[in-house]
Amino acid sequence: MSRTTRLSSSLLRAAAVTGVAALTLTACGSGSGSGSGSASSGSGDVKVGLITKTDTNPFFVKMKEGAEKTAKSEGVELMTAAGKFDGDNAGQITAIENMVAAGVKGILITPSDSKAIVPAIAKAQAKGVLVIALDTPTEPESAVDALFATDNVKAGELIGEYAKAAMAGKTAKIAALDLAPGVSVGVQRHDGFLKGFGATDSDVVCAQDTGGDQAKGQTAMENCLQKEPDINVVYTINEPAALGAYTALKAKGREKDVLIVSVDGGCTGTQAVKDGKIAATSQQYPLKMAAQGVEAVVTYAKGGKKASGYTDTGVTLITDKPQTGVDSKDTAFGLENCWG
């Protein structure tokens, strides 16, 4: 996957910025470009909405870049919104309402709360808006028209299979540094890891929620080490949590004898794999999710054909210490395809 640069401000047509309690809503048009006669029927005639969990996480920054680039190439207007924090369901509801009022044909959303957002999605759909989930499925998954996402169960399975092989028959004492209650992506990765490892929750000696945050990951690992000092395998929801765990382990002199595995494939996390702080990570591709989502809304706007079902946007195990029987790529590949 090629790297994408940000669109310069000269390519973005400014639109109204509406401040709301928990998010920032902006619109950026991608006109036909200096009167060049784009094939689209008028710049901005079709509006597409993108709602992410935050606008600071590099994963969502890259997702926005993918949406912006595709909106420009398709000659449509992109409106964006982001919550103040991961879990800002109220902010996402407000964003949906604002976008529907602005006349979007479709909304792409990474749900902060997979269940609580469903009624707001249903109201948008009732007004003819196509709603596509990116990265994180709703609960139920059928609450949206389509899902473009990593197979998070597979992402977890890959690092679970890797960890099992790397342990080479040793008795595992597993710590799970999870995401948060109510977020399906966290549950899927956790369950996938256990499936890949051939374990169950009863085999996890310590489980802590981290919100995917590095500082909270460090605290969670410190708590787990107090509870069970002999932990030797650490599953983490993402690489910030993994780096927090590494910091806590290093403070105890345990960083070299505990196996840390993770999911995401951001550039910082992939570099941490190269540096030996994380043994392996499952890399996903947010730019691709957003690009395909925008294309699906454009198709719906032009001909009424709705995207449906689940589209897997891919996942790759990244490690420099490959294990027999587990497909992987090295960090050179990972750094070429990372985000953030």
Residue with tokens 């948060």: 180
- Give the start-end residues of each E strand in 45-173: 47-52, 77-83, 106-109, 130-134, 146-149
Listed range (14-18, 136-140, 157-161, 335-339) with the worst mean pLDDT = 14-18
What count of Cα atoms within 13 Å lies in the side-chain half-sphere of residue 260? 31
- The answer on pLDDT for 42 being more than 80 is no
pLDDT, tens digit, for every residue of 90-104? 999 999 999 999 999
pLDDT, tens digit, for every residue of 292-313? 999 999 999 999 999 999 999 9
Q: At what angle do helices 89-102 and 118-126 cross, to 10 degrees?
A: 10
pLDDT confidence of residue 340: 81
Q: Tell me what the mean pLDDT of segment 48-60 comes to.
A: 93
Q: At 287, which amino acid appears?
A: L
Q: Quote the radius of gyration of the chain (alpha carbons, Å).
A: 21
Q: Tell me what the mean pLDDT of segment 84-88 comes to.
A: 88
Q: How confident is the model at residue 184 (pLDDT cuts 50, 70, 90)?
A: confident
pLDDT, tens digit, for every residue of 124-181? 999 999 999 999 999 999 999 999 999 999 999 999 999 999 999 899 999 999 999 8
pLDDT, tens digit, for every residue of 203-234? 999 999 999 999 999 999 999 999 999 999 99
pLDDT, tens digit, for every residue of 231-290? 999 999 999 999 999 999 999 999 999 999 999 999 999 999 999 999 999 999 999 999
For the chain, counts of helices (H) and of strands (E): 10, 15
Residue with tokens 């890949």: 196
Q: How confident is the model at residue 87 (pLDDT cuts 50, 70, 90)?
A: confident
Q: How confident is the model at residue 44 (pLDDT cuts 50, 70, 90)?
A: low
pLDDT confidence of residue 194: 98
Residue with tokens 């002199």: 253
Both structure tokens of 32: 């036909």
Q: Tell me what the mean pLDDT of segment 184-194 comes to.
A: 95
